[in-house]
Structure 1
Amino acid sequence: MKSQWLSLLTICGAAATALADKRPYSVLMTEATMARKVAKVRWYTEQVFYRGVQYVYNATGDAKYAAYIRGQLDPILTENGTFTNWDGVASYEGLDNLRVGETMLFLWEHTGQQRYLNTADFLRREIDRQNRTDEGGLWHMDKTPDQQWLDGLWMVGAFYAHWTALFEPGNGTAWDDIAHEFDLIEEHCRDPGTGLLFHGYDESRRAVWADPVTGASPMLWDRADGWYFNALLDVLDWFPRSHPGFGRLRGYFVTLAEALRRAWDGEGGGWWLVMGPDYVGRKGNYIESSGTALFVTGFLKGMRKGYIPKHEYQEFAFGAYDAMTRKFVNETCGTINWEGTVKVGHLNGNGTFEAGLTGSLQAYIKEPIAQNWLLGVGPFIYASSEIEAMRG
């Protein structure tokens, strides 16, 4: 037994030395997560992490990171770029199923291989096949009829804009459509009291949680606002500045940045899972890590792109990053872990599933918290990559 403990201490000591080598957090978290064996699937959870790997590849130029992404996705693609396990589920899973499109564009741009472009083209056609509200908003999925969620614009917005910029830059109809998706969210989900956005809305007002006037859900869920905050930035990367939608989207981002700065809990070190002022500090509510990391990423990238002024936001954003790191990064026994990420948060389409909880505070706080959940790990890598570039 004594020899086993000595062996463990020796292993942990050697690994701790590796952590002390001053590699940046973006690299440390990426390497640790790669070592934990991420599933080789197309689901959005994994794509959130692969985006972080792309950040590290872009920063380091190390080809092993791009090769890792290829190694994760090649096994589920045929030689001509179709998914081996697609089976027509895209319409059922809806927009979540399309986040992989951005990864495919990265692989095509990195390798020039036609099969990745074939996959991206297929996913672009899937956007046109999705159901829409009467106003033209993309349903989040078939089982949530007439509903738009903030999450969906993260899942599809950047890919839609990126693909259009590459292959149909003059397609005004597509640019109008992309901007319209955000316009609808702003119309139905912006909370006039806080400036934050409710998780989603139901155009039909049939969902048990839908506000009878706006159709909006009642809770301000942090990760949904985080997805939206970053979706705006990612779409603006590709959106033509000459289009009137560019100014609107930038304005939506600036307004949300101002609201999020007000909502930060400096003592808690981040943002609450459910951010409404009536719910902050309520039993079961807590400072959550994935939304916090997404918000910090948005502030840092927003400054880098010039959408919000550094003299107003840099001190705040740097402080929020450092507080987040102290709270959620756990370095133990030779590895680095990310704590405090809620696994999921959702709105139900027709109120038949857990109808008593749907859309309520309890619906969000009852979900489990996971260590090293990719939906938190990925955003922490984004934020780390941004701040490492800014701090030099």
Structure 2
Amino acid sequence: MFLSSLVVSFALLLPTVQARPKSYAVWAADSGIARGQGNGLDANGAALVSYEHGEFQWGLRLLYELTGNKTYFNYIQTGANNIVFPNGTVHGKYNFTAYSLDPIRTGPTFIYLYKKTSQAKYKTAASVFRSQLNSHPRTGEGQFWHKLMYFNQGWLDGIYMGDVFYTAYTATFDANNATAWSDITAQFQLMFDNTLQTSTAPNDTGLLYHGYDFSHTAVWASPDRGHSPEVWDRALGWYMMALVDVAEMAPANSGQLKPTVLRILNDLAPKIRDAADPKTGVWWLVITQPGRAKNYFESSGTVMFVYALLKAVRLRYIADPDGSIVAAAKKAYKYAIANWVVPNNDGTMSWMNTVSVGSLSGDGSFDYYVNQTVDLNDLKGLAAFVLASLEFEKL
């Protein structure tokens, strides 16, 4: 009896979504908040610096600016306060010397909060991340390693994790630093040059492999440029989102940054459109192996592409004279809401079919990708769905 009462009492303390909102962006965001996702804490309540949280908070920021609902701003700030001490020190398992780009994706949240509140601790926390980039290991060409433990490897994921922050920080605090702008530009260009599929490649898509090893010592490194063997949808999704977000943030004095990312974006966007499954309109987990046994339609990469394509057209970063790019994004989005959104009895929604992880720590093979766990309510996918929904609802 006591246990039952305790459970009921605890349940009453949890936020709930009482009615299904008309906006899928609002519904997804409110559902994530109701589950306590993206709040700077792990499942045990310990502070956690997580790129997934940074991605979700980016969507909440856009929702707050669109709706004026202070719930979203307060949730962002609570999440940041869970991982930043009052003196600006970042905690929650952040380890500077691990030289990982992943945690840095929470940095744009700190910059946003500093602009809104003028609280010095947020600028200090952002500067901690910026200082990591000063000594972060690089390839001989200057590409940031994805992590110290991945010798000489650049991953598409790292562009979203590191360079969205690098751009936001430079634009806000160091806008006249031509060296920084040139460096950010190089990060995008080097990743593109070293991972682009060539026309002689098997299953050619003209898209980007997951990553590359400049030293050519990884077991998966190709003989020519050291690239990995497959095009993984979410890695490409991270890169595409970084292209449109950085293009939007890049100021007029950022040198070749905006022209470079727009040139890359215009190269990749029609190829992504063409790589979608013709029947469903969505994308395979391993894009280079469409229809192969065990391959499947993956949700996070799909909605990342929807977000990037629709935002690129809306801001006129890419031309869409026949409407085919918007049509492709709309078709994919409609498949997503019909197949991956699940209404729950408490008024929340759940999100399906997001692969839990994709890494180049192993052999980078097709079998590796298709054998990773597929999660329910994985925040990487849910946050991307918020972003895609925001763009779709602006059509």
TM superposition score normalised by structure 1: 0.89
Contact 2:164 2:242 in 1 (8 A): yes
Residue 29 of structure 1 corresponds to 28
Residue 70 of structure 2 corresponds to 63
Q: Secondary structure at the match of 2:228?
A: coil
Q: Answer yes or no: is 1:146 the counterpart of 2:158.
A: no
Return the offset for 1:271: 0.4
Question: Residues 16, 175 of structure 1: CA spacing in aligned structure 2 closer, same or farther, 3 A cutoff?
Answer: closer
Return the offset for 1:17: 7.9
More helix by share: 1
Contact 1:270 1:287 in 2 (8 A): yes
**What is the Cα-based RMSD across aligned positions, in Å?**
1.7
Residue 7 of structure 1 corresponds to none
Contact 2:145 2:153 in 1 (8 A): yes
Identify which of 219, 233, 242 aligns with 1:231.
242
Identify which of 368, 372, 393 aligns with 1:367.
372
CA distance in 2, matches of 1:369, 1:252: 30
Return the offset for 1:314: 2.4
CA distance in 2, matches of 1:109, 1:304: 26
Q: Answer yes or no: is 1:297 the counterpart of 2:307.
A: yes
Q: How many residue pairs align between the two structures?
A: 363
CA distance in 1, matches of 2:18, 2:243: 40
Q: How does 1:325-336 map to 2 (within 5 A)?
A: 325-333=337-345, 334-336=347-349
Deviates more, 1:211-220 or 1:53-62: 53-62
CA distance in 2, matches of 1:269, 1:380: 16
Contact 1:302 1:308 in 2 (8 A): yes
Identify which of 86, 98, 114 aligns with 1:92.
98
Q: How does 1:40-79 map to 2 (within 5 A)?
A: 40=41, 41-79=48-86
Q: Secondary structure at the match of 2:342?
A: strand
Q: Secondary structure at the match of 2:154?
A: strand
CA distance in 1, matches of 2:257, 2:28: 36
Identify which of 173, 180, 191 aligns with 1:174.
180
Residue 266 of structure 2 corresponds to 254
| Structure 2 residues not aligned, in runs of 5+ | 1-15, 42-47, 200-204
Question: Residues 16, 373 of structure 1: CA spacing in aligned structure 2 closer, same or farther, 3 A cutoff?
Answer: closer
Contact 2:49 2:93 in 1 (8 A): no
Q: Secondary structure at the match of 1:337?
A: strand
Q: How does 1:366-385 map to 2 (within 5 A)?
A: 366-385=371-390
Q: Answer yes or no: is 1:18 the counterpart of 2:28.
A: no
Contact 2:154 2:212 in 1 (8 A): yes
Return the offset for 1:245: 3.5
Instruction: Give % identity.
Output: 36
CA distance in 2, matches of 1:240, 1:267: 40
Return the offset for 1:224: 0.3
CA distance in 2, matches of 1:75, 1:275: 38
Return the offset for 1:91: 3.3
Contact 1:268 1:287 in 2 (8 A): no
Contact 1:269 1:324 in 2 (8 A): no
Identify which of 351, 362, 365 aligns with 1:338.
351
Residue 4 of structure 1 corresponds to none
Contact 1:59 1:385 in 2 (8 A): no
Q: Answer yes or no: is 1:209 the counterpart of 2:208.
A: no
